Each structure stands twice: as C-alpha cells, then as structure tokens.
Amino acid sequence: MKIVTYNLNGIRAACNKGLNDWIQNSGIDIFCFQETRATEEQIKSVLDTTGYHAYFNVAERKGYSGTGVLTKKEPLEVMTFLPSVKDDNEGRLLLLKYEGFSILDYYTPNGGSRLDFKFEFMNNVLNDIRAIIKDDELIICTDFNIAHTEQDVSNPKACRNRTGFLPEECKLFDEYLKAGLNDCYRRLHPQGEAFTWSSYSAKATGNKAGWLYRFDYIFASDSIADRLIKCDNLLDKDYSDHYPVLAEFNIRL
C-alpha cells in the first residue's frame, strides 16, 4: 500500500499547477490532503477523482483549512470528528476505517496568535489517538505544523523563537511519539537534514538560510510501522509551498 500526505495550500491552485496529472499517473493507493481551502463543490469542479473514492471535510469559513482523502478502496467507515473534537468547524480531521487499521488525515492549527488553541486541539486529538491505538492499528497523515529536531529546520537557533519549533511544541511532538506512534521518515532516515515546507523566498533563491521546516509527516502505530518499506519526501512535486511525503507499507489495501 502506497500512501501520500500533502498540504496543498489551496487545492484549486495545486490543480492549476498539474496536481491532477500526478494523481492519475502515480499509482498511489491513498492521498491525504490538508489545507484544501475550498468548498466541496469547488473541489469537485477542479479535482479529477477517477479511480478513487473521495471524501472531504470542509471548513465553515470559506477558503480556509479543510482536509480531503482519495482512496482506491472504499473504507468501512468515514468520520469527520473524534470523541474529544466534536465541534471542529475548520475541517481539520478525517478518520477512515479499513479492515485491520485506520487512517487519520489531520491538519493541526498553525499557532502564532492561536497558540493556545493549537495546544488544546492537539492535546484533545492526542487523547483520542491513545484510545484508538488500544484497539486498532493507526496511520496518521498530517501537516503537523511542528518541526521535531534541529535536523528538521534550516536555522535552529532563530527558529527556537518562532511558532513551529518552540520548545513547548517539540515537547508535545514527543508526547505523540510516546503514545505509540512512529515517525516513518525518521524510522528509515534517522540522520540528516530534511524539509517539507519552504518559504517562497527560500524556494525562489535556493537559499537554505531562508525558512525551511519539516512540517509534514506520516506516523504509524508500532505494528504497522514494522511493515514500513519506504518513506520519502517528494521534493520534485512542486504544486504547493509544502512537499508531499510518500510511505509504502507491506499491506494489501
């Protein structure tokens, strides 16, 4: 099974840049999108879902947030909320249940002026993840909006005072791992710099002194992580200011 997580920073803009061609020629089983920033009608007008079942959780505020999943196999159940986050009006969650495992498409709040909301939201979701893992295997596809270590930011010293790499955010990241999740990319690539988001200035100049973060992750509970074959950041896919992450598991979907 091949699965991709990707923050699109607007699905309409990404489709204008060639997203559909990649989807239809990729051989990917499941795409998990974050920040679709469109109504379901707008999404359906631009996104080619041929060969996929499509599910979306749209924010009440137009042009904001939102998640979406394309899956070749129809799930047993689809949920747009979790027990601790029933009043999510920003479309940040999609939980798909399959035989033997579940997939959570998860877009965390950015932070900044909403840092308290970010921590509250992420702690509530963490409680639900702990409960899910007790009974089910879980894969999480996410723009986590936190870089975990100094290997995951281009300028660690400066970034320590910026949302996305604050010490308290990195501590929360650790709590997710302690809950029984594995960072699939670091499981296979424990050393070396890695980034999945680039400021437009850094992307335009190729200057690593700009702002670069690894914000995008595929997490897996222990048993599923043991079936991980590969996990890579796809830096050649340039449809957004983020880059997609691809993981392949020894699982038949």
Q: What percent of the chain has pLDDT over 70?
A: 96
More confident residue, 200 or 139: 139
Output the pLDDT for position 206. Answer: 53
CATH number of the domain that residue 92 is part of = 3.60.10.10
Residues with catalytic function: 107, 143
What's the whole-model pTM score?
Answer: 0.96
Output the pLDDT for position 86. Answer: 81
Whether the pLDDT of residue 204 is over 80: the answer is no
Q: How many domains does the chain have?
A: 1
Q: What is the pLDDT of residues 42-83, one digit of tens each?
A: 999 999 999 999 999 999 999 999 999 999 999 999 999 999
Closest CA relative to residue 123, chosen from 177, 69, 172, 167: 172
Work out the average pLDDT over 229-238: 96
Work out the average pLDDT over 129-143: 97
Q: What rounded mean pLDDT belongs to the chain?
A: 95
Work out the average pLDDT over 113-138: 96
Counting other chains too, the contacts that 188-193 makes at CB distance below 8 Å and 24 or more residues apart are 188/228, 188/230, 188/231, 189/231, 191/151, 192/151, 193/151, 193/152, 193/154
Tokens linked to 212: 């670069």
- Region of 170 please: left (phi>0), alpha (psi -120 to 50) or beta: alpha
Q: What percent of the chain has pLDDT over 90?
A: 91
Closest CA relative to residue 232, chosen from 213, 253, 248: 248
Output the pLDDT for position 205. Answer: 46
Q: Tell me which DSSP letter residue 238 carries.
A: -
Q: Terminal CA-to-CA distance of the chain, rounded, Å?
A: 6
Strand 181-183 and strand 216-221: pairing? antiparallel
State the residue range of the domain holding 96: 2-249
Work out the average pLDDT over 97-116: 96
